[in-house]
Amino acid sequence: MKDSSQLDNMNELLRLIAPGTPFREGLENVLRAKTGALLVVGYSPEVMEVVDGGFSINCDFSPNYLYELAKMDGAIILSEDLKRILYANTQLIPDSSISSSETGIRHRTAERVAKQTGKLVVSISQRRNIITLYQGTLRYSLKEIGVILTKANQAIQTLEKYKAVLTQSLTNLSASEFEELVTIPEVVNVIQRTEMVMRIKTEIKRYIHELGNEGRLISMQMEELVGTTEEEAWLLYKDYARDDSDDKIREIIVGLKRLSDDELLDAHHIVRLLGYPSSAATSEDSVAPRGFRVLNKIPACPMLLSIILWINSNNCLMLLWLQLKNWTKWMVLVKFVPGPLRKASNVCRSRCLSTDRCKGLPI
C-alpha cells in the first residue's frame, strides 16, 4: 500500500485542481483549445534556478488569462496559493541528469522540474488531451469525470458489501465476548475486515477529491456506510492489544496501513502488531477483552467510566460509581457486559454499599 504521506499529498493535489475551482476551469479551457501547456505552482529559489527568459506578469489569476497565456510556447509560473500569475512564456531548464520515464519533451521537463524543485508541475498534452500532475516523485493523470463517477459508484457498492460482512463479524465477536469464548484468530478476522473497509474508504475519498463539487452525493453515501467504523476499530484495538496505551494504538493503526493486501491477509502480521507471539495466530485459547468497545455502546456509560471499570482493584472505581446519576438503569445494563467487567462491577458495588455516602441509593 502507498505511504500515508504520499496519499495525503495526492489528496491535497486533487483538492487543489478539483472541478469547480478556478484553476481547474483554466486547465479545462486549455485542454479544449488543444494548445497544450506547462505550469509550475510556486516560485522559490529552487524554481528560479530552472527558469530562464519569459516576462513578468504578476497579475491576479483568472481562468481566461491562463487560457490566453497558454497560447505561447513557454511555461507559466503561478503563485503557491494559485491567486496570481507571476511569469509567462518562460523556458524551464532542469538538471538533465535527473531520470525521467516520460518520452515527450513537455512531460519530461515537467517530471524533472517536479523532482528538482518539489513543486507541483502540471503538463497538458496537446495531442492526447491529458492533464498530468507531477510533484516530487508523484505522478498522476487526471481522468474524465464520467470515468471517475463509474469507479466511485463501483467502490461504494464494494464498500456496502464489505461493511455488511464487518457488521456480522462484530456481532459474532460480541456474542463470543459475552460467552467468554473469544480467540485471537477471531479478533484477527475482525481486524482484517475493519482494515479492508478503511482502505475502500480511502480509495473513495480520492475519487471524491478528484470529483470536487460533483462528488457530494458519493461523499454522503460513503459517510453513511462507514459510520463509526474508525472509532469502533480504535476501541477494538484497545480491547485486545497487549499494550492499550494511545501511542501503541496509533502504532498499530500505522502498521496496518503499511501492510500490503497480501500481508493483511496473513494473521501473523496482525498478531505481532497486537503484541502477541506468532504462535497465537493459530491458538484456540480464549482471550478476555477489556470491554471498551461493548461499554461504548451503552449510552449511560461515558468513556471515562469504561477506562476505570476494567481495573478490578482501584479506589477510583468506588468514587466514580458514586457520581452515576441513574443507578438502577446502570445495574440493569451491567448484567449484559462481559464476565470480567461484571466482576469488576460487583466489586465496585460492594465497596459502595460499605460507605455512608451510598445509604439510600437504589444499588
Query: Please, are residues 72 and 6 in contact by the beta-carbon 8 Å criterion?
Result: no
Q: Which DSSP state fits 325?
A: S
Question: How many CB atoms are closer than 10 A to CB 214?
Answer: 16
Q: Give 213-260 pLDDT, tens digit per residue.
A: 888 899 999 999 998 899 999 999 998 988 888 899 999 999 999 999
Q: What is the pLDDT of residue 87?
A: 93
Q: Got the DSSP string for 1-17?
A: ---HHHHHHHHHHHHHT
pLDDT tops 60 at residue 357:
no
What is the chain's length? 363
pLDDT band of residue 313 (cuts 50, 70, 90) is very low
Query: Please, are residues 310 and 296 in contact by the beta-carbon 8 Å criterion?
Result: no
Q: What is the pLDDT of residue 15?
A: 83
Q: Got the DSSP string for 52-73?
A: ES-EEEEEE--HHHHHHHTTSS
Tell me the three cell numbers of residue 37. Answer: 501547456
Instruction: For residues 268 and 285, give the distance between their C-alpha atoms in angstroms, rounded to a whole number.
Output: 16
Check residues 335 and 156 and name the one with the higher pLDDT. 156
Instruction: For residues 47 and 102, give the distance between their C-alpha atoms in angstroms, rounded to a whole number.
Output: 20
Q: What is the pLDDT of residue 327?
A: 45
Q: What is the pLDDT of residue 342?
A: 52
Q: Give 83-130 pLDDT, tens digit per residue.
A: 999 999 999 999 989 998 888 889 999 999 999 999 999 999 888 888
Q: What is the pLDDT of residue 169?
A: 93
Instruction: For residues 264 and 260, give the distance between their C-alpha atoms in angstroms, rounded to a whole number.
Output: 6
Across 31-40, 166-175, 185-194, 307-316, least confident range: 307-316
Q: How many helices (H) and strands (E) does the chain have?
A: 17, 8
Instruction: For residues 172 and 138, give the distance between their C-alpha atoms in angstroms, rounded to a whole number.
Output: 42
Q: Give 147-161 pLDDT, tens digit per residue.
A: 899 999 999 999 999
pLDDT band of residue 354 (cuts 50, 70, 90) is low
Mean pLDDT along residues 39-67: 91
Share of the chain above pLDDT 70, in %: 80
Q: What is the pLDDT of residue 150?
A: 93
pLDDT band of residue 12 (cuts 50, 70, 90) is confident
Tell me the three cell numbers of residue 118. Answer: 518539489
Across 34-48, 151-165, 208-222, 272-286, least confident range: 272-286
Across 41-55, 128-142, 225-239, 340-354, least confident range: 340-354
**Distance of CA 91 to CAs 47, 48, 114, 115, 339, Å?**
11, 11, 15, 17, 73
Query: Please, are residues 239 and 176 in contact by the beta-carbon 8 Å criterion?
Result: no
Q: What is the pLDDT of residue 363?
A: 44
pLDDT tops 60 at residue 329:
no
Check residues 101 and 337 and name the one with the higher pLDDT. 101
Mean pLDDT along residues 40-44: 91
